[in-house]
Amino acid sequence: MFGFIKNSLSKTADAIKSVVPKKKLTFSKDEIEDILLEADVEYELIEKILNETYQEKITRDILRSKLLATLAYTSYKEPEFTAPFVELIVGVNGAGKTTTISKLALKYKNEGKKVILGAGDTFRAAAIEQLTLWAKKIGVSIVASAQGHDSSAVAYDTIDSAKSKNFDNVIIDTAGRLHTQTNLANELKKIKRICDKAHPSSPHRTILVLDGTQGNSAISQAKAFNEMIGVDGIIITKLDGTAKGGSVFSIAYALELPILFVGTGEKSEDFIPFDKYEFVDTLLDAIFVEETA
Ligand SMILES: Nc1nc2c(ncn2[C@@H]2O[C@H](COP(=O)(O)OP(=O)(O)OP(=O)(O)O)[C@@H](O)[C@H]2O)c(=O)[nH]1
């Protein structure tokens, strides 16, 4: 597990190396500012961290506690629910929603759960086809309609089917783009209402999928989705392909939302739960030398 986070942060660690050629025991505030900027932590958050730090020499322990504090919202508590557990997956096109749904589905399947997917991005034929292919590949059920059909109807049918066949998990894909932003907001809100109609109190979890390679520029997009329908947690994809690993701090801090999982590659297995301690310690390992007793 630790290796996965380490691998997915390797590009970020390389970027840090460019400003810290030699690891040390302590750093000045200016050095820490450069390091965090290089890792794509947002400037305001860096300023906040440094303004709250009174020591001139910053040790691993000091930075560790500051970074962990920015991830204070990362613990997620599953709500009480009656099966099936319904999840709505939202995010812009290309963020990696389809791949992420397959990863989540495989995780549940490997836990012995019965999983069904709903191909709710009816705006794009390719999205329906791609999700259908993934469902086949990992061996889970899917409800899919033709392009242009009502996405809420797909959500309803998926939940209905799950209830009648005693499925444990329902994962519903949604459109990342429609003709206008208002259309998208209305469609997502409608899907949410219909889920509740099909299975009261659902969706139990609305997850926003964010492309990790976008770094901090994903924040405004994430805020827009959160305002549109209310997000419960975030999955960050493609962390393996970016030097912007530090943006995870700014995203979690700006949105006050937990990071649930991270995508660490293109395969369905490349998916790990986000552990804030591992994440912070892996990043710190790239900066500080180990203290010898
Ligand atoms: N390296 C890497 N690539 C990923 C990860 N997640 C997704 N991808 C890739 O990102 C690209 C886009 O992902 P898709 O899941 O196909 O997303 P999409 O179909 O373009 O758009 P949506 O499904 O609407 O998000 C694909 O080439 C995926 O293989 C990840 O965690 N790491």
Residue 8's pLDDT is 85
Is residue 34 within 8 Å of 19, Cβ to Cβ? yes
Distance 246 CA to ligand 1 centre (A): 20
In whole angstroms, what is the distance from residue 115 CA to residue 130 CA? 17
Output the CATH code of domain 85-274.
3.40.50.300
Distance 280 CA to ligand 1 centre (A): 25
Residue 6's pLDDT is 85
Domain spanning 2-73+280-285, CATH class? mainly alpha
Distance 98 CA to ligand 1 centre (A): 7
For the chain, list the strands marked E by DSSP: 26-27, 58-59, 85-90, 115-118, 141-143, 169-173, 205-211, 233-237, 259-263, 271-273
Strand 169-173 vs strand 85-90: parallel, antiparallel, or unpaired?
Answer: parallel
pLDDT tens-digit readout, 127-159: 999 999 999 999 999 999 999 999 999 999 999
Q: Is the CB of 96 under 6 A from ligand 1?
A: yes
Domain residue extents for the chain: 2-73+280-285, 85-274
Distance 94 CA to ligand 1 centre (A): 6
H or E segment to which residue 156 belongs: helix 151-164
- Ligand 1 nearest atom to the CA of residue 93, by list position: 24
pLDDT tens-digit readout, 204-216: 999 999 999 999 8
Residue owning the nearest CA to atom 11 of ligand 1 = 96
Residue 2's pLDDT is 54
Q: Which residue ranges make up the annotated binding site?
A: 91-98, 173-177, 237-240
DSSP 241: G
- Ligand 1 nearest atom to the CA of residue 209, by list position: 25
The ipTM is 0.94
Q: Is the CB of 93 under 6 A from ligand 1?
A: yes
- Kindly report the pTM of this predicted structure: 0.94
In whole angstroms, what is the distance from residue 34 CA to residue 108 CA? 41
Q: Is the CB of 212 under 6 A from ligand 1?
A: no
How many other CB atoms are found less than 10 A from the CB of residue 211? 22
Residue pointed to by tokens 């259908």:
132
Residue 293's pLDDT is 57
Residue 178 exposed, middle or buried by CB count within 10 Å (0-12, 13-18, 19+): middle
Closest C-alpha among 288, 281, 289 to residue 9: 281
Is residue 189 within 8 Å of 206, Cβ to Cβ? no
Distance 8 CA to ligand 1 centre (A): 15
Residue 79's pLDDT is 87
DSSP notation for 94-150: TSSHHHHHHHHHHHHHHTT--EEEE---TT-HHHHHHHHHHHHHHT-EEE---TTS-
Residue pointed to by tokens 């997000």:
231
Q: Is the CB of 265 under 6 A from ligand 1?
A: yes
In whole angstroms, what is the distance from residue 232 CA to residue 236 CA? 14
- Name the amino acid, one letter, at 68: L
Low-confidence residues of the chain: pLDDT under 70: 1-2, 292-293
